[in-house]
Structures are given as C-alpha cells and as structure tokens.
Amino acid sequence: MERFYSDYNQIKLRQVKEMLDDAGVPCFIKNEFIQGASGEIPPHEALPEIWLNDGSWASKANKLLKQLEDDLANMDDVEWVCSSCNETNEGQFMLCWQCQESK
Ligand SMILES: [Zn+2]
C-alpha cells in the first residue's frame, strides 16, 4: 500500500478518488471522517488521505492527478473583457468571440 494524496479539501479529495475509481486504479480513503470527530488529533494526522492498494499504480495515478489539476485550473479561468469592443468573454477563450481580438 502506498499513500498517494491528502487534502483538507474533502470535495477535491472525493474528485481525486472518483477519478482513480473511473480509471480502475484500486484505492481507498483513510481518515475521511476523523475531522470534527475529535479536537485532540493534531491536524496533520487527521488529514483525509487516499491510499493506493498497490504502489505500482503510483505513476498512472500521478499522471491522472496532474491532468485533473490542469482541468481544474482551466475551469478557474475568469471572464475577461475585450479591450477593443468591450465584449465579455469566458475565460477559456483566447480570442474575443465578437471581434477576434486576442486576450
Ligand atoms: Zn472584442
């Protein structure tokens, strides 16, 4: 077994777990419900973790994680306003949809 990932953000952790499940990577979550259950556990020990059943999956899992993080980063792109025509464009577009001015 090998510890693969840990995050305070349980939503992100779940996304990572789901991604691994979808890819058929055998894994499980540790410490999922420990937060809030006790204030006595030091935070770094109470962090929810994803473990791989087998360390040989690590390189595949890391590749998938990188991809997921790239996707999440792209989704975070904010809207931008075209400097030429003042049209609002979504973050993923590099050119203004109205006048083709570049971002
Ligand atoms: Zn424009």
Token representation of residue 58? 């690590």
The answer to whether residue 88 sits within a structural domain is no
The answer to whether residue 99 sits within a structural domain is no
Specify burial of residue 14 (Cβ count, 10 A radius: 0-12, 13-18, 19+).
middle
pLDDT tens per residue, range 20-70? 999 999 999 998 765 555 556 565 567 889 999 999 999 999 999 999 998
Residues of the chain with pLDDT > 90, as a percent, come to 60
Residue 70: which domain range?
2-75
The answer to whether residue 103 sits within a structural domain is no
Confidence band for 3, pLDDT divided at 50, 70 and 90:
very high
Output the domain CATH number for residue 14: 3.30.70
Q: Distance (Å, rounded) from C-alpha 19 to C-alpha 7?
A: 15
Using the mean position of ligand 1's atoms as its centre, give its distance from the Cα of residue 102 in Å. Answer: 8
pTM: 0.62
pLDDT at 4: 96
Q: Is 16 helix (H, G, I), strand (E, B) or coil?
A: helix
The answer to whether residue 9 sits within a structural domain is yes
Using the mean position of ligand 1's atoms as its centre, give its distance from the Cα of residue 78 in Å. Answer: 16
How many domains does the chain contain in total? Answer: 1
